[in-house]
Chain A
């Protein structure tokens, strides 16, 4: 049950969608077990931080360019952008608490 609050970003709209404010992007793929495991957490964060941060997902199967630009060779990976600048990289399955701690540092 993907939350409609999570924005889907693509190679095409990535730059415009991440250019303003705090944007957390979850790089995932359907075949990745840990990504599926983390998906509900990402959905919750989208609701919890509505209005304060944008939460987005990018399917690496469909979008090869952006993952390559950020040297992503493992998923799940979370990238946090602040006004278009990469602020944090979090690799691997994370607890909600760990992601919240990172987000709070930038709010």
Chain B
């Protein structure tokens, strides 16, 4: 079992920024990447709102740079997935698979959020056969085909616009009569002749062929209750995210929606445990705010470790060890 001062769980902008800052503070952080290494930006294309890149930067390239930058200053990055944590005892225990364990004096949780599904059963069953939450992964399969995007936020508009490269038409299905997306994304979507909008509506069911390929959607108008069938070959779901907090549920305070509750910066209900990025933020959810909160968590963790060091050096002095102080 290896013992470190700081362990970081998650490798999106929050986790990697926390790694960069704690590495530069000489805390020799260990970061556990997780299965979806690099986080949500790995599934995007051009990121146009990351400051410092006037022409934009590809999401995966940005994450490759962040990872390399954290490693340059000595962060140890493990290509592994955390399977359990024990926050009830110090040092904290972080389990990797069956056999391996890490221990840490401070823990930064940056596990992010994952795409939400529709909760109608058919969407999970038909995943990979016409239902997708990743336009950049699966858009290619719908060249010249009609498809739908469910959702009305920035992610939904980005997916819809991206998918017009492949699809013959993109129907955006949204529960309200106006979009939640930012003005610039709305303007782009409205200006795109391949995109149409189905307002005040939800997906009631997804129809499939005998072969198990999506053939259409049953769309229900929420105001009138009327249903109609929309023939599509694929549907992309962009209705928001669920925080990845199952690891710490029951050990740390979560809000009603499962997000980690933070106070005074990045502090959680357990002293020594800090949270950053989308796992504790359902409001801003931007790469830059995630990175910013990762920096906060690193600084908070550093100060926490300094506060621990004071009594322990007193203790060492009493034992006649390190009597000359720090």
Q: Which residues of A contact B (CB under 8 A)?
A: 29, 31-35, 37, 40, 60-61, 67, 71-75, 77, 89, 91-95, 97
A60 to B36, CA, bound (A): 22
Shortest Cβ distance from A37 into chain B, in angstroms? Answer: 6
Q: Is the CB of A95 within 8 A of B35?
A: yes
Q: Is the CB of B137 within 8 A of A71?
A: no
A92 to B60, CA, bound (A): 18
Q: Is the CB of B212 within 8 A of A71?
A: yes
A30 to B243, CA, bound (A): 29
B241 CB within 8 Å of chain A: no
A75 to B134, CA, bound (A): 10
Closest to B208 in A: A71
A35 to B60, CA, bound (A): 13
B142 CB within 8 Å of chain A: yes
Contacts of A92 in B (CB 8 A): 127-128
B269 CB within 8 Å of chain A: no
Given contacts A37-B37, A95-B81, A97-B97, contact A72 B137 (CB under 8 A): no
- Residue among A34, A35, A73, A94 with the highest chain B CB neighbour number at 10 A: A73
Given contacts A33-B60, A97-B97, contact A72 B42 (CB under 8 A): no
Q: Is the CB of A73 within 8 A of B234?
A: yes
Contacts of B211 in A (CB 8 A): 71
A29 to B127, CA, bound (A): 18
Q: Is the CB of A75 within 8 A of B37?
A: no
